[in-house]
Amino acid sequence: MSLQERFIKNLKRYREELGCSQEQLGNRLGSDRTAISRYERTSSRMTIERADALARALDVDVRVLLETPEDHPIAHRPPGSPISSKLVGQNVRDRRTAQHISQKELGDRVGMDRNHVSRIEASTSSAAALQLATLEKLAVAFGIKPTDLL
């Protein structure tokens, strides 16, 4: 199961445990039921910022929804500090340089162009929003959990 699939399953499961409808969650986000339905069907590419916003709307730390196996109960842990693509980019750069890996080498490990790694590390705008799938690939390349990059 991919990181995005685990997050989505846990998001839906936790929302339902709270007795929160898709419409109520949408309202908390300033969105609508159809957007929540679309997220829960995993038909859209989830960014880390959107995942964090969805988790915060349910008053739970996004890391819990990213890490909890689907056959385990979801622990309630209040949201921690906000996560961002910029912060992840800084963490990627710090880990890469600490391991003496070039952007090209990391790109080769992840299956992306060196320029994409450079954009992730220099992330300064929402246009560079990092998707959960990319976060997962980066974590695998470093041999760590995805949440270690948050």
Give the phi and the psi of residue 131 in degrees, each rounded to 5: -85, 155
pLDDT at 78: 97
Cβ-contact 119, 131 below 8 angstroms: no
Cα 112 to Cα 32, 76, 83, 115, 138: the distances in Å are 34, 35, 23, 8, 10
Per-residue pLDDT at 125: 56
Question: Given this model, what pLDDT does residue 70 score?
Answer: 87
Q: What domains sit in the chain, N to C, each tagged with a CATH number? A: 3-67 (1.10.260.40), 85-144 (1.10.260.40)
Q: pLDDT value at position 127?
A: 53
Question: pLDDT at position 129, please?
Answer: 86
pLDDT in tens, 41-70: 876 789 999 999 999 999 999 999 999 998
Helix (H), strand (E) counts: the chain: 9, 0
Residue spans of the chain under pLDDT 70:
43, 123-127
What values do phi and psi take at 124, rounded to 5? -130, -5
